[in-house]
């Protein structure tokens, strides 16, 4: 009579399995999209967990996954070997340090974990998408005295560091800078010069310079 109250055996096993395996495979990246400046150094960071009872024997980063094929360790790829550094710690943090970023590094980067058990390997989806941009000044070549002018520091992806502007090689602190724009209010002959931009933390990676000429306005108060 009380037999009907007992859960079926497969369900009992299922509950035991779920209860016992406290940690599962997981790979979490701090950022899934990164915009980096050509020539800069980037970090791709994250954390991972794996089922208990396994020992991690190897970790590495890779790009361009092919279904059914064991990925290649990026540090063994001649294009990357001198520029990548893999860092991990006991707290399951991991990072990829990529130096001298270039346009051809625009890939999705994945973290790979290999354990002592042949079948227990993991690739962290969805990876980290890297975009690489340069800085380019977009501005008029000539402005008439008394007018306003906006200079824009163009990028092809969104950089998070603040923009810095230079005139004739010196940082500009007195002008209005908003996001990636430098605003020149009531242009005077003193605003003529060579302008370039950069972002904080990478001041050595400046845009090419842009020359701004100032044309004399007609003086009506003669
Ligand atoms: C990126 O910077 C390198 C120098 O570090 C330069 O040679 C290359 O032309 C730059 N890339 C582009 C797309 O301009
Ligand atoms: C990523 O980790 C490295 C050390 O592994 C650290 O120096 C860096 O600041 C971290 N960057 C971010 C964006 O979390």
Domain at 101, CATH number: 2.60.40.10
Q: What's residue 218's pLDDT? A: 67
Is position 222 within any domain?
no
- 41 within a domain of the structure (yes/no): yes
Q: For residue 22, what pLDDT is reported?
A: 66
Q: Tell me, what's the pLDDT at 214?
A: 96
At residue 86, the pLDDT reads 96
Q: Among 92, 115, 133, give the residue marking a domain's end.
A: 133
Q: Final residue of a domain: which of 133, 155, 180?
A: 133
Instruction: Return the ligand number nearest the Cα of 99.
Output: 1
Both tokens of 109, joined, read 């980067």
51 is a domain residue:
yes
Q: Are 129 and 150 members of one domain? A: no
pLDDT score, position 12: 46
Q: How far apart are CA 132 and CA 35, in angstroms?
A: 6
Tell me the best of 36, 37, 39 to mutate to test the pocket of ligand 1, counting ligand atoms within 8 Å of each CB and taking the most. 39
Same domain, 105 and 165: no
Verify that 56 and 106 share a domain, yes or no. Answer: yes
- Picking from 107, 133, 159, the residue at the C-terminal end of a domain is 133
The pTM score is 0.83
Instruction: Show the domain range for 210.
Output: 136-215
Residues of the chain predicted below pLDDT 50 = 1-3, 7, 11-17, 19, 21, 222
Enter the tokens of residue 3.
Answer: 């037999």
Inter-residue contact 109 to 61 (CB < 8 Å): yes
Residue 66, judged by CB atoms within 10 A of its CB (0-12, 13-18, 19+), counts as: exposed
What do you get for the CA distance between the two ends of the chain, in Å? 114
Residue 18, classed as helix, strand or coil, is helix
Ligand 2: atom nearest CA of 31 is: 13
SS3 at position 3: helix
Domain membership of residue 12 (yes or no) is no
**One domain for residues 142 and 83:** no
Over residues 150-185, the pLDDT tens digits come to 999 999 999 999 999 999 999 998 778 899 999 999
**CA gap 11, 9 in Å, rounded:** 5
Shortest-distance atom of ligand 2 to CA 87: 5
Q: How many structural domains does the chain have?
A: 2
Tell me, using a 6 A CB cutoff, whether residue 45 lines ligand 2: yes
Residue-level pLDDT at 90: 77
Shared domain for 128 and 154, answered yes or no, is no
């Amino acid at each position: 009579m009380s037999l009907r109250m007992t859960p079926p055996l497969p369900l009992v096993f299922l509950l035991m399995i779920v209860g016992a395996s406290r940690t599962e495979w997981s790979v979490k990246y701090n950022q899934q999209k990164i915009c980096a400046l050509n020539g800069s150094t980037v970090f791709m960071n994250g954390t991972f967990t794996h089922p208990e009872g396994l020992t991690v024997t190897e970790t590495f980063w890779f790009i361009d996954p092919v279904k059914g094929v064991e990925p290649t360790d990026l540090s063994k790829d001649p294009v990357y070997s001198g520029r990548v550094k893999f860092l991990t710690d006991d707290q399951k943090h991991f990072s990829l340090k990529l130096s001298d970023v270039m346009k051809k590094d625009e890939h999705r980067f994945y973290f790979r974990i290999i354990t002592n058990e042949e079948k227990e390997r993991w690739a962290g989806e969805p990876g980290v998408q890297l975009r690489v941009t340069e800085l380019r000044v977009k501005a008029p070549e000539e402005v008439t005295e008394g007018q306003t002018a906006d200079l824009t520091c163009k990028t092809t992806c969104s950089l998070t560091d603040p923009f810095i502007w230079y005139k004739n090689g010196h940082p500009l602190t007195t002008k209005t800078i908003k996001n990636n724009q430098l605003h020149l209010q009531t242009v005077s002959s003193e605003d003529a010069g060579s302008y370039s931009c950069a972002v904080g933390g990478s001041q050595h990676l400046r845009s090419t310079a842009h020359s701004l000429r100032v044309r004399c306005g007609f003086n009506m108060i003669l």
